[in-house]
Amino acid sequence: MSAHKTPGHGNRPIRAALIDVSGTIHVGRDAIPGAISACRRLRSERGVDLRVLYLTNTSRMSSAELLMTLRDAGFDDDALPGLESVMTSVGATRRYLLDNELRPFCLVGDDLLTSDLRDVVETTSTSTMDPNCVLVGLAPEKLDYANVNTAYRLLLKWKEEDDAVAAAAASASGGERRPIPIVPPSPRLIAVHRSTRHRDDDGHLSLGPGAYVSLLEGAVGSGLSARVIGKPSRDFYMAALSCLGEDLDPSEVVMVGDDIVGDVIGALDAGLGRAILVRTGKYVTGDELGRGGVVPTLTVDSIVEAVDYICSNSGLK
């Protein structure tokens, strides 16, 4: 176990824990060794004064399928009570699309289109029929040349349209010294998340959707930047904190995960007091050194040691 101090958290007891799912408590159909007992331990502490929320970027399967996968892996109700204890980036994406009246061209799996995102796409489209944004998730069956090229062409078309609107607004301002307000164009490229890798069912690392998001940004150019919904988005962490309870101070919350960017940097950037990196899942040697000078509060072998740390720093007996 190697510790890296992160300024700011002081010695405040941990009152809540956000736990990543894929790569942290399971990989594919298998539980990480010791993870089921660790989750049960968290759940029993939760009954006292420790709030626990599972926070996942998983976009390859629906919430129902995710829960079934976890149940099959051995996470029973004592370990993980159900979907009410899980916040997903897909759920946040659904709310974002609805709130912003977005009609996505969907590079996400068909399973999601008939489940978690059904009420978004039923009123809009899964194809090129009048979309106004591109949505990218982890969808191996969708991320082929034809679909990615269709997304590219749509983004180019919208860029021309948005540029024309901006030019017209600039022209309308004429010689006026007073700047006219310009309504920013709606987000055109939306990423359920932008992780570049994940630990696949065969045990090897595989490409994540972030690689395709970067590809589209680079190909379209001109400052196109995806709106990222899941981790490491600050909004996603703020929503999780809100779900845990408005009375919590972020410094009293710890994040545990296997993604140095999404789980560790994202959590610390959002103001959480601590972020623990586990050496399972997508972890690769060197991740514990952090990014840009930001390092994990702690790096441990697995969720087992992370839960040990949480329980001994929660102020509980």
Q: Which is nearer to Mg ion, 59 or 126 (CB)?
A: 59
- CA distances from residue 202 to 30, 60, 123, 214, 235 in whole angstroms, order as listed: 11, 15, 37, 25, 33
Q: Which of 254, 252, 251, 239 is nearest to 303 (CA)?
A: 254
Rounded to the nearest whole angstrom, what is the least distance from the CB of residue 127 to Mg ion in the complex?
31
Between CA 268 and CA 290 the distance in angstroms is 11
DSSP string, 197-234: EEE-TTSSEEE-HHHHHHHHHHHH-TT---EE-STT-H
Rounded to the nearest whole angstrom, what is the least distance from the CB of residue 21 to Mg ion in the complex?
7
Rounded to the nearest whole angstrom, what is the least distance from the CB of residue 189 to Mg ion in the complex?
23
Rounded to the nearest whole angstrom, what is the least distance from the CB of residue 243 to Mg ion in the complex?
19
Q: Which is nearer to Mg ion, 89 or 132 (CB)?
A: 89
Piece of 16-24, 68-76, 102-110, 226-234 that binds Mg ion (CB under 5 A): 16-24
Question: How many residues line the site for Mg ion (CB under 5 A)?
Answer: 4
Piece of 3-11, 18-26, 146-154, 270-278 that binds Mg ion (CB under 5 A): 18-26
Using CB under 5 A as the binding rule, whether residue 23 contacts Mg ion is answered as yes
Q: Which is nearer to Mg ion, 202 or 246 (CB)?
A: 202
Rg (CA), the chain: 21
Burial of 260 (C-beta count, 10 Å sphere; 0-12/13-18/19+): buried
CA 317 to chain centre: 33
Q: Which is nearer to Mg ion, 52 or 97 (CB)?
A: 52
Piece of 168-176, 222-230, 255-263, 288-296 that binds Mg ion (CB under 5 A): 255-263
Q: Which is nearer to Mg ion, 264 or 311 (CB)?
A: 264
Between CA 73 and CA 80 the distance in angstroms is 12
Rounded to the nearest whole angstrom, what is the least distance from the CB of residue 307 to Mg ion in the complex?
16
Residue nearest to Mg ion (CB): 23
- Which long-range contacts (C-beta less than 8 Å, at least 24 apart) are formed by 91-99? 91/63, 91/116, 92/229, 92/230, 92/235, 92/236, 92/239, 93/117, 93/135, 93/137, 93/190, 93/192, 93/229, 93/230, 94/119, 94/120, 96/190, 96/227, 96/229, 97/135, 97/190
Q: Which is nearer to Mg ion, 155 or 240 (CB)?
A: 240
Piece of 150-158, 227-235, 250-258, 264-272 that binds Mg ion (CB under 5 A): 250-258
Determine contact, residues 110/141, Cβ cutoff 8 Å. Answer: yes
Using CB under 5 A as the binding rule, whether residue 20 contacts Mg ion is answered as yes
The residue length of the chain stands at: 317
Query: 232 preceded by cis ω (within 30°)?
Result: yes
Q: What angle do CA 161, 162, 168 make, to 5 degrees?
A: 90
Q: Which is nearer to Mg ion, 23 or 131 (CB)?
A: 23
Rounded to the nearest whole angstrom, what is the least distance from the CB of residue 118 to Mg ion in the complex?
25
Using CB under 5 A as the binding rule, whether residue 258 contacts Mg ion is answered as yes
Between CA 5 and CA 35 the distance in angstroms is 25
Rounded to the nearest whole angstrom, what is the least distance from the CB of residue 293 to Mg ion in the complex?
23
Q: Which of 22, 69, 93, 132 binds Mg ion (CB under 5 A)?
A: 22
Piece of 15-23, 104-112, 131-139, 159-167 that binds Mg ion (CB under 5 A): 15-23
Rounded to the nearest whole angstrom, what is the least distance from the CB of residue 61 to Mg ion in the complex?
14
Q: Which is nearer to Mg ion, 20 or 288 (CB)?
A: 20
Query: Scanning residues 137 to 166, which ones bind Mg ion (CB under 5 A)?
Result: none
Residues that bind Mg ion (CB under 5 A): 20, 22-23, 258
